[in-house]
Structure 1
Amino acid sequence: MPHRALAELAAAMRAPLLRLQLGTVRAVVISSPDLARAALTTSDAALASRPRLLGGQVLALGCSDVTFAAAGPYHRATRRLVVSELLSARRVAAYGRIRAGEVRRLLGHLAAAASPAAAAAPVVDLSECFVNLANGVLFRVAFGRGFPHAKAARLGAVFAEANELFAGFTAGDFFPELEPIVSAVTGVRRRLNSCLADLCEFCDDIIDELISGKRERTSGDDGNEDFVDALLRLQKSPDLEVPLTDDNIKALVLDVFVAGADTSLAALEWVMTELVRHPCILTKAQDEVRRAVGRAKGTVEEWDLGDLRYLRAIIKETFRLHPVIPLLVPRESVAPCTLGGYDIPARTRVFVNTYAMGRDPEVWDRPLEFRPERHGSAAAGEVQVDLVDPEFKVLPFGGGRRGCPGYAFALATLQLALASLLYHFDWALPAGVRAEDVDMDEIFGLSTRKKEPLLVVVKRNDEYEFKGGENYDI
């Protein structure tokens, strides 16, 4: 786990800024909020590019997505396009119906599986449920159709493979001049090509239908333009700043799924894992949600979320202890700059270790404890919790011009899903499983998910029972 190893090295050397030689690549690792602030604000322009990582070159079709594109006109144009057509405040608000529908699908599935509080409660795999939720939302937003749940297991395996290969820690990434030889010896290039074929397979038929104009919308579609429709429309626009090829469109769509689905899934897993391990915090969060929503209304709606300050403190504490992208996406300096009094030459790879920052005892009191109350009086309900941390101590979405443009989209789904789960159901660990028994190991990759599925007991609550009235089988 590179983020753990680099955190241990920084702690042992008492060095919040490390200069490393990784193969033939010069790199620096930032492990303090002050240096992260300097890198993502004062030196943001100098550190605005991305290294040409092997995963991005293959899986992002020549680094032509938003995440891995080098700084320049193409990145500026495609980022602006993705924000305006998918991630703007207006667009995110418009997707409220989609989020609500997919959350209700999840609740219906859990209601069918749950038993009354007094009966022997079943154990459900919440990780699998979250895979369906995250992909369900993104499929409807991107393609205007439902997620093919019959293929969920296979797609989950493909996304997990892509997540590992995107991380940028293959041998070829640190010996770029020897990459063809190194990749042939290690087999990484074969894995990349196989993964790319699998990724393209799941969306090629849909995109090709759209490109050829032969698409037939599914029943129940209201005819609104989805993300791929918008990309194809803009591809023909004479006002587009840079040409947009069919491969560019595929790269942008794949970016949405690999970056969007896996990170949302990981965040949901870690929050619910910590809640079932801390029953007192879980009860307090449930009390807040049920008090804010009330019993009469019977369902959580998005305008209720603004009152859930303690839930936001829980989410922020989870981001601190379990950052979804612990090393952020690596940057590369395009010009010399200075950090912490040290000169950073051009073409230096820069890692921001948010994992180390979140567990630094000089920054946090008792950093290994899960305590939402640590986030000031906001946890007590006096002020709102800012999930985009102005102090740069918690950076779930990075920062600066390469910060994640989808944070509002992700938070909307995350908060609605969590509030709904807490409102309608009671949760616990399976019989005989103690908090310390829960496996907290991670999967290596660009984002860090739980290694083992999250298995929990779900019970219906008679006062706040979910009444879907439809078949939400997933």
Structure 2
Amino acid sequence: MEISDPLTFLSLLLVVVALFSSLYIIPSRRSDGRRRRLPPSPPSLPVIGHLHLLSAMPHHSLAALSARLGAPLLYLRLGRVPAAVVSSPALARAALTAADAALASRPDLLSARVLSFGRSDVTFAPAGPYHRQARRIVVSELLSPRGAPIDMSARLFGLANDVLCRVAFGRRFGGGGGGGGERLVEVLTEAQALFAGFTVGDFFPEIEWAISTATGLRRRMNRCLAGLRAVCDEIIADHKGEGGGAARDGYSQEDFVDVLLRVQRSPELEVPITDDNLKALVLDMFVAGTDTSFATLEWVMTELAKHPNTMRKAQEEVRRIVGNKGRVEEGDLQQLNYMRAVVKETFRLHPPVPLLVPRESVEKCTLGGYDIPAKTRVFINTYAIGRDPQVWENPLDFSPERFRNTDIDLKGQDFELLPFGGGRRGCPGYSFALATIENALSSLLYHFDWELPPGVGADDVDMTEIFGLATRKKEPLILIAKTHEGYEFKETN
């Protein structure tokens, strides 16, 4: 994340913001002179507020801060931005139900503004008619389950990208002929990196331009935007020339670009969809869908490799249900109860977006009896909730059995487990993501036996995280794979 190396330009930042220090006083009283009842807040520093409390793993530092203060709701000042951090299921429920309308918007982040074509995607669009329409189109027209089996770390990344590219573009992630596939790989991978994490300028909106220019971030984003625009223009032109549903890369069904071009021509739209809006929606599906699915698959396989008895139980279930059919079919997935418990337990310990996508209050509201002013950035720390000993027994243990006799689901209605968020800004693609993960995982478990390389024990597996668009393992997962019949496959990296 851009804030992960703040010392590189901290002196520059302090010099610039000092010139505007008079702007960075956030009043603690209402305009009528009455004092707000704000949530607990630790001591802050001039100008930067509480930014010094964030580490390269902000979900870790915020969880530790909440535990240290004994406060499941914190009020922070991140540069110029007031922020609230929610770290309990009860307050998450309040934020995503009673206060859902008040917290329905998204902050104006630099990466979203530039790379999402003016925040016209679903994830980062401000609350309003356009977001409602875009979300409705995405949910009703695109999201249906597809998936395929594939290998580990880099291959899992390729799997997640391939699934989304086939659905969105009608071509494989690296396919398309000529240099098109390579350009697609390059610009989408760069976009994923730029969307990841925090950007310092987002916490100092009045001088964001100076900070992003000085660090070279804006120049990098503009280059990426030009590449995205060129690739998307080529893909849209191909689709317009072929007509909806024409075969591409052996894929004959109508893909997402076909759908959007069809919807774009509809006279019944509440808000017109421009070509840039279309590009933003396609990019949103790709960036939001691939990194998170890949990260979850990698964490699932990591935990199973560290817990071979759990691996064996999951494999036995898959092989018993699938039998001798030779491949996992969609109808098998609903019967794989233990495997689905494994996925839930992985989401609990390794939420793909641990602070969810931040919300921004469009009006004042209350949480837990405290006032949350308008224009406050709200983070829901699912990492802290998933490891809270008041919520979970032995919270640091990987134990899928805890989900075997519960009805906790992943749809945003059980607030102790929120991998896809909830409320009106919950992830619209949760069913698509689950289908991708479950299809891939069940196939991996059905066809192969997995084990750590010789001489590597469970305690030797590096579990260090990288914070970004999705929180992934820092080191790639390396396993030995053997086909179920006993044929040794190879090491995967």
Task: Give the TM interval when normalised to the shorter protein.
Answer: 0.7 to 0.9
How far did residue 30 of structure 1 move?
Answer: 0.3
- Where structure 1 has 5 or more consecutive residues not aligned to the other structure, the ranges are 111-125, 379-383, 467-474
What is the match of residue 13 of structure 1? 69
Aligned match for 2:83, one of 15, 27, 36: 27
More helix by share: 1
Q: 8 Å contact 2:300–2:343 — kept in the other structure?
A: yes
For 1:221-236, what aligned pairs fall within 5 Å after superposition?
221-222=251-252, 224-236=253-265
TM-score, structure 2 normalization = 0.82
How far did residue 386 of structure 1 move?
Answer: 2.3
Percent sequence identity over matched residues?
Answer: 64
How far did residue 81 of structure 1 move?
Answer: 1.1
How far did residue 389 of structure 1 move?
Answer: 5.6
CA distance in 2, matches of 1:433, 1:463: 21
CA distance in 2, matches of 1:284, 1:63: 45
CA distance in 2, matches of 1:464, 1:310: 26
What is the match of residue 45 of structure 2? none
Cα 1:385–1:298 shift into 2, 3 Å: farther
Cα offsets for 1:41-87 (capped at 9, x unmatched): 11100000001111100010110000000000110111111111102
Cα offsets for 1:274-297 (capped at 9, x unmatched): 101110100011111111122x32
What is the match of residue 329 of structure 1? 357
What is the match of residue 274 of structure 1? 303
Aligned match for 1:343, one of 371, 391, 409: 371
Cα offsets for 1:125-159 (capped at 9, x unmatched): x1111122112111111122233259889866755
Aligned match for 1:45, one of 101, 123, 144: 101
What is the match of residue 7 of structure 2? none
For 1:256-295, what aligned pairs fall within 5 Å after superposition?
256-294=285-323
| Matched residues, number | 429
CA distance in 1, matches of 2:114, 2:75: 28
CA distance in 2, matches of 1:319, 1:397: 10
Aligned match for 2:472, one of 444, 449, 463: 449
Q: 8 Å contact 1:54–1:168 — kept in the other structure?
A: no
Q: 8 Å contact 2:291–2:469 — kept in the other structure?
A: no
How far did residue 164 of structure 1 move?
Answer: 4.4
How far did residue 203 of structure 1 move?
Answer: 3.4
The amino acid that maps onto 2:373 is P
The amino acid that maps onto 2:109 is L
What is the match of residue 427 of structure 1? 450
CA distance in 1, matches of 2:338, 2:475: 27
TM-score, structure 1 normalization = 0.85
For 1:294-313, what aligned pairs fall within 5 Å after superposition?
294=323, 296-313=324-341
Cα 1:8–1:161 shift into 2, 3 Å: farther
What is the match of residue 268 of structure 2? 239
What is the match of residue 348 of structure 2? 320
Q: 8 Å contact 1:361–1:367 — kept in the other structure?
A: yes
| Helix, strand or coil at the partner of 2:396 | coil
Aligned match for 1:141, one of 153, 164, 167: 167
Cα 1:151–1:445 shift into 2, 3 Å: farther
| Helix, strand or coil at the partner of 2:266 | coil
Q: 8 Å contact 2:172–2:249 — kept in the other structure?
A: no
What is the match of residue 41 of structure 2? none
What is the match of residue 130 of structure 1? 156
Aligned match for 1:361, one of 369, 389, 394: 389
How far did residue 441 of structure 1 move?
Answer: 1.7
CA distance in 2, matches of 1:353, 1:286: 32
Please state if 1:255 is matched with 2:271.
no
Q: 8 Å contact 1:426–1:458 — kept in the other structure?
A: yes
- Where structure 2 has 5 or more consecutive residues not aligned to the other structure, the ranges are 1-56
Cα 1:129–1:82 shift into 2, 3 Å: same
| Helix, strand or coil at the partner of 1:415 | helix
What is the match of residue 250 of structure 2? 220
Q: 8 Å contact 1:427–1:458 — kept in the other structure?
A: yes
RMSD over aligned Cα, in angstroms?
Answer: 2.3
Please state if 1:411 is matched with 2:434.
yes
CA distance in 2, matches of 1:78, 1:360: 35
How far did residue 425 of structure 1 move?
Answer: 0.7
What is the match of residue 165 of structure 1? 194
How far did residue 160 of structure 1 move?
Answer: 5.2
Q: 8 Å contact 1:425–1:465 — kept in the other structure?
A: no
Cα 1:152–1:439 shift into 2, 3 Å: farther
Q: 8 Å contact 2:197–2:467 — kept in the other structure?
A: no
How far did residue 211 of structure 1 move?
Answer: 4.3
The amino acid that maps onto 1:218 is R
Cα offsets for 1:371-426 (capped at 9, x unmatched): 11122525xxxxx6623363311101100000000011111111111111111110
CA distance in 2, matches of 1:202, 1:432: 45
How far did residue 328 of structure 1 move?
Answer: 0.3
What is the match of residue 190 of structure 1? 219
